[in-house]
Structure 1
Amino acid sequence: MTCVGIDVAKDHLDLAIRFDSDKKRTRRFDNNSDGIDQLEEQLTQVEPERIVLEATGGYERPVSAALAAAGLPVAVVNPRQTRDFARATGRLAKTDEIDACVLALFAERIKPEVRPAPSADQEVFSALVARRRQLQKMKTAEENRLGTAPSEAVRSDIEEHLAFLEERLEETERQIEEAVENSPLWRQEEELLCSIPGVAEATAHVLMAELPELGEANRQEIAKLAGVAPLNRDSGKHRGERSTWGGRASVRKALYMAALSATQYNRKIREFYDRLVDRGKAKKTALVACMRKLLVIMNTMMKNGTHWNPEYQASSA
């Protein structure tokens, strides 16, 4: 079994290859188109079982996309997982080469799941949705500053910036809507998701962009990916409270807003929420349960290509 780890930096890529004999080979490539082509050529000759990279804020995307397009098995993992793995195996020193070797060992021992690389259109759509979120955050920050502006000059500058952000936000919204309109698949997904009372287009777009596994994974897997699966905290005779954590933060926030709306406007979700509260569940706990129920319903609808049906969905969730 041959496993590969690639430590990604802005300017270079550190490669580590582990062979069956426990031998290692390391090499550094430039993180540009020529370096990625050389890396791809070498790995195609090696034919690894699994290639692991960390998510590094976007620097990993060109290389992971190129390797996946070449038919190589690529897994992009959470850096927290690999850091915990390194500490657990006693590898406390840190250099780019050591990190690459740790990733190769992680690939061999943990065997993270290899998922298909997103298409170019999916990458663009995800970037647009992320950009909308960034613009909304900047707009909120400027609106907060406007209320405490110490002078008219500062107030005027903030108002001018707010007008610019509003313009860019409208343009980004237009590009998102245009991307959905030009894709029959995305139009169908948006229509299915928005047929659920309480789910708006903004929520649907976040799920379409940042949870592409929706409709492909089972109910347990999709809940873990979104960070709404209750996790055990038991040890010996102690039975701790189940709690949810991890997952994709942007997806979890979108589900929270959808669940909040659904408890007001979706009869089935409201009844479910009220039953939990009547049984003594904390309101926050009941709301998280509604988030998970909504997600499972969405997953079933996307898998079957069916619109919202409260009677059917209530039993399948």
Structure 2
Amino acid sequence: MSTYLGIDIAKKTFDAALLREDDRYRSKSFPNTPAGFEQLRVWLAKHQGLDAHVCLEATGIYGDALAHFLLDAGMRVSVVNPARIKAFAASELLRTKTDRMDARLIARFCRAMNPLPWQPLPPAVRALKALFLRVQSLKQMCQQECNRLAVAEAVVRPGIEAHIQTLETQIKELEQQIGEHIQAHADLRDKRKLLRAIPGIGPATLALVLACFASVIERFDNVRALVAYLGLNPCQHQSGESVHRPAHISRMGPALLRKCLFMPTLSACKHNPVIRAFFQRLRAAGKPGNVAVIAAMRKLVHIIYGVLKSGTAFDPDLHMTA
């Protein structure tokens, strides 16, 4: 493939840079709307770019629609971690940052690194993820309102209380919708059955796992890759004799997933015999509480991976010896 299309996504617009064989660019900005997507297709056809390898950063909801549009148009699409683009920019010692320059940078990254094709989530999982993320947003808003209520003047308390009640009602309705959605799809239903058997995994964690990584678990060659994807892999920083920083997790994965796994891990430390024994062993060895909890979180991910990858129910004896 000799042409590369870098796309820099923003909320309302996106910049496209077509890198051609002669190392020259064609650049243009488009509205981030279905009409803008069609304008991009016409522009690419005009400049013989419909066979280009497309690359854009994983920017959440802002780029999803465009990525699906280009994929449906038969183009090869790669959606990459923004950290990779940032590191590539540092390697070029770039000093200027604009949307136009970023699009060109992404095109050069695509040519140099040839990232893997993007594999979108199945429609049922995409819908489940949207429902799950909406619940998390509403819970965050509800907590903010509860915090305000604690210090609010009497004149505004009724409005805050009404808003909290509305949010709680919406959360309950969405959680019920999540359960019905999982029940309506056989693959999600079967995986839920496997996950339910793991002590410490409740309804909220079930939705998290099914929405965010259960359906793509086959893409990970081993559990270490999944742990790295979640940003739970330990990292060391050592150089010579003078630099030796304490080890820490990478935190390069989705922060929301780590946050949502924290409370289930605490529950598993009490109710899951495998996690409980593992956690107590670390504490007895003198590990700080937060270090032991993070290690227990990785252990829980190992168990989830093993159960879903093998398709067999949770066996405490098997994981005790793992």
Do the structures match in fold with TM over 0.5? Answer: yes
Structure 1 residue ranges without an equivalent (≥5):
none
Distance 1:117 1:188 in 2: 21
Given residue 86 of structure 1, which amino acid in structure 2 is its aligned partner? A
Aligned to 1:209: 211
Given residue 283 of structure 1, which amino acid in structure 2 is its aligned partner? G
8 Å Cα contact 2:41-2:50 kept in structure 1: no
> Structure 1 residues 17, 45: CA separation in 2 closer, same or farther (over 3 Å shift)?
closer
**Which TM-score applies when normalising by structure 1?**
0.91
Matched, 1:68 2:71: yes
Aligned to 2:30: 29
Given residue 146 of structure 2, which amino acid in structure 1 is its aligned partner? E
Q: How does 1:101-112 map to 2 (within 5 A)?
A: 101-112=104-115
1:97 to 60, 79, 100: 100
Given residue 93 of structure 1, which amino acid in structure 2 is its aligned partner? T
> Structure 1 residues 109, 236: CA separation in 2 closer, same or farther (over 3 Å shift)?
farther
Shift of 1:88: 3.3
Matched, 1:284 2:260: no
SS at 2:235's partner residue? coil
Aligned to 1:273: 279
Shift of 1:34: 3.2
Shift of 1:40: 4.2
Bigger drift between 60-69 and 233-242 goes to 233-242
Shift of 1:133: 0.5
Q: How does 1:150-189 map to 2 (within 5 A)?
A: 150-151=153-154, 153-189=155-191
Distance 2:11 2:26 in 1: 22
Aligned to 1:224: 228
Structure 2 residue ranges without an equivalent (≥5):
none
SS at 1:180's partner residue? helix
Distance 2:76 2:193 in 1: 33
Aligned to 1:130: 133
SS at 2:234's partner residue? coil
Partner deviation per Cα, 1:256-285 (whole Å, 9 max, x = no partner): 112111110011111111111111211111
Distance 2:25 2:109 in 1: 14
Shift of 1:247: 0.9
Aligned to 1:242: 247
SS at 1:139's partner residue? helix
Distance 1:260 1:128 in 2: 25
Given residue 226 of structure 1, which amino acid in structure 2 is its aligned partner? L
Distance 1:283 1:113 in 2: 39
Identity %: 33
Aligned to 1:47: 51
Alignment: residue pair count: 314
SS at 1:147's partner residue? helix
Partner deviation per Cα, 1:211-239 (whole Å, 9 max, x = no partner): 24334312111001111111121212454
Partner deviation per Cα, 1:15-39 (whole Å, 9 max, x = no partner): 2122344232323333322331343
SS at 1:76's partner residue? strand
Given residue 240 of structure 2, which amino acid in structure 1 is its aligned partner? G
Matched, 1:258 2:264: yes
SS at 2:156's partner residue? helix
8 Å Cα contact 1:230-1:243 kept in structure 2: yes
**Which TM-score applies when normalising by structure 2?**
0.89
Bigger drift between 129-138 and 231-240 goes to 231-240
> Structure 1 residues 29, 265: CA separation in 2 closer, same or farther (over 3 Å shift)?
same
Distance 1:47 1:315 in 2: 51
Given residue 14 of structure 2, which amino acid in structure 1 is its aligned partner? L
Bigger drift between 5-14 and 260-269 goes to 5-14
Matched, 1:233 2:232: no
Shift of 1:303: 1.1
Matched, 1:7 2:8: yes
Distance 2:75 2:236 in 1: 35
Shift of 1:46: 4.1
CA RMSD of aligned residues (A): 2.1
SS at 1:233's partner residue? strand
Distance 2:125 2:238 in 1: 40
Matched, 1:143 2:141: no
SS at 2:119's partner residue? coil
SS at 1:101's partner residue? helix
Shift of 1:79: 3.2
